[in-house]
Amino acid sequence: MTIIKAFGVGFCKCNEVVDKIVEKTTFRHTSTDQIVSEAAILSDMKVAKVQKALTYKTSVFEKFTHEKKYALAHIKLVLSKMLMISAGRDLILTGYSTQLIPKDITHFFRVGLIADMEFRVATLMEQEKISKANAEQQIKKLDEEQAKWMAKYCGVYEAFNPADYDLIIPMNTESIDDAAQLIIQHQQDDIFQPTGSSTQAVADFNLAARAEVALTKKGHDVVVTAGRGDITIKIDKEVSRFDHLKNELTSILEKVDGVNGIEIKKEENLPGHEAYRKYDKNMPSRILLVDDEQDFVKTLSERLALRDMGSAVVHDGESALRLIKQDEPDVMVLDLKMPGQNGIDVLKEVKKSYPGIEIIILTGHGSEEDKQQCLELGAFDYLHKPLDITKLSEVIKKANEKVNQQAE
């Protein structure tokens, strides 16, 4: 049994090399896309949301939803399960997800595929029929994204450090056939067979992943490590009731099969004063507040946070539409009268392009005619200022429930 872990820079023909290996051998290829699809099933998340966990950009709602943390925990669970049952099978793993595998799991043939910029630009130009300048821009952006993601989520600060690979192949000097043959020739070396310590590292990876999934399901975002059945949790935020949190985390971890010991400790010298916040997946956490009254909308966001509802704030219709294109909310609370694009204009455009977003109109100046028009355009509800925060909270919850029902 051999496992090949192949990772390549963008547009260096990595997939073509892997396809050639599969064609010539009994190796089975598992791509990051396949791992993401399985993680989406396990986590009950949309594939697109799990895929975003492998990108550097973070949603403005992440501190309330913790979706990236939840998705990454399930990606690691899928990977660890795959490694646990890989005995007797020849396997090739490719893509970003391979970088999440701990370095102390050593029984891999670690292959890096690289190429100079000229080769990569020419490959992209041929694939997408675009200009050289456009291709160069796309590749530079891709490389920057890759470097930032690997540094933040994998602790890897040099993507192709020779010390991290058994073989690095420059695709601008090697053909697809020659690269594939080179990998095939080396993959049977004894050094790539499992050792006791490497096998234990797989078990530790799996236990840490299962523990992290159990904790994230209960709304906890903590740093988890495992070693021979012992779980260590590090709290990297300020905690007002540490003993209470410790007992809660312990009760969750005690139900995870294979956990022998549990150590929970606070990080020393915390850089900021961010408070530890347990999150509730069932509460609305992707709310976009749109209002040009800055003090009002800031206070509204804070009052919703006290009710465990997460929101982002913008102050005009144009900003709202730009944010939605990048990071679609579930519920919008939209002011009717704003400079520039008013609430009705924004309502029309959002409902046309993003019909799944539920929109609550909030106004201090609207008429009965405005209300009728907004409801006909698809607004979920129409509320007047000064608002009753309890009533608004209930309306938001109902709107969020409708979004969740439509997603099922």
Q: For the residues 320-348, what does the mean pLDDT come to?
A: 95
Is the backbone of residue 25 left (phi > 0), alpha (psi -120 to 50) or beta? beta
CA distance 340 to 342: 6
pTM (2 d.p.) = 0.93
pLDDT of 247 above 80: yes
Contact 24, 110 (CB under 8 A): no
Question: CA–CA separation, 163 vs 386, rounded Å?
Answer: 63
Query: Binning pLDDT at 50, 70 and 90, where does residue 238 land?
Result: confident
Identify the residue with better confidence: 274 or 68: 68
Secondary structure (DSSP) of 8-76 = E-TTS-HHHHHHHHHHHSS-EEE-HHHHHHHHHHHHT--HHHHHHTTSS---TTHHHH-HHHHHHHHHH
Element of type H or E holding 290 = strand 287-290
Please, which pLDDT band fits residue 270 given cuts at 50, 70 and 90? low
Q: H or E element: which one contains 223?
A: strand 223-227
Distances (CA, A) of 259 to 79, 80, 201, 206, 252: 19, 16, 15, 11, 11
Is the pLDDT score of 268 beyond 80? no
pLDDT at 273 over 70: no
Confidence class for position 387, pLDDT limits 50, 70, 90: confident
pLDDT at 272: 62
Q: Which domains does the chain have, with CATH numbers?
A: 3-188 (3.40.50.300), 199-266 (3.30.1340), 287-407 (3.40.50.2300)
Q: Cis bond leading into 170, ω under 30°?
A: no
Q: Which tens digits make up the pLDDT trace of 181-211?
A: 999 998 877 677 888 999 999 999 999 999 9
| Tens-place pLDDT, residues 17-66 | 999 999 999 999 999 999 999 999 999 999 999 999 999 999 999 989 99
Assess contact for 38 and 284: CB atoms under 8 A.
no
Q: Which of the 8 DSSP states describes residue 225? A: E
Q: Maximum Cα–Cα distance for the chain, whole Å?
A: 79
3-state secondary structure of 275: strand
Convert the pLDDT of each residue in 282-324 to its tens digit: 899 999 999 999 999 999 999 999 999 999 999 999 999 999 9
What mean pLDDT value characterizes the chain?
Answer: 94
pLDDT of residue 73: 97
- Read off the pLDDT of residues 82-97 as tens digits, 9 standing for 90 and up: 999 876 678 999 999 9
Q: What is the pLDDT of residues 343-371, one digit of tens each?
A: 999 999 999 999 999 999 999 887 899 99
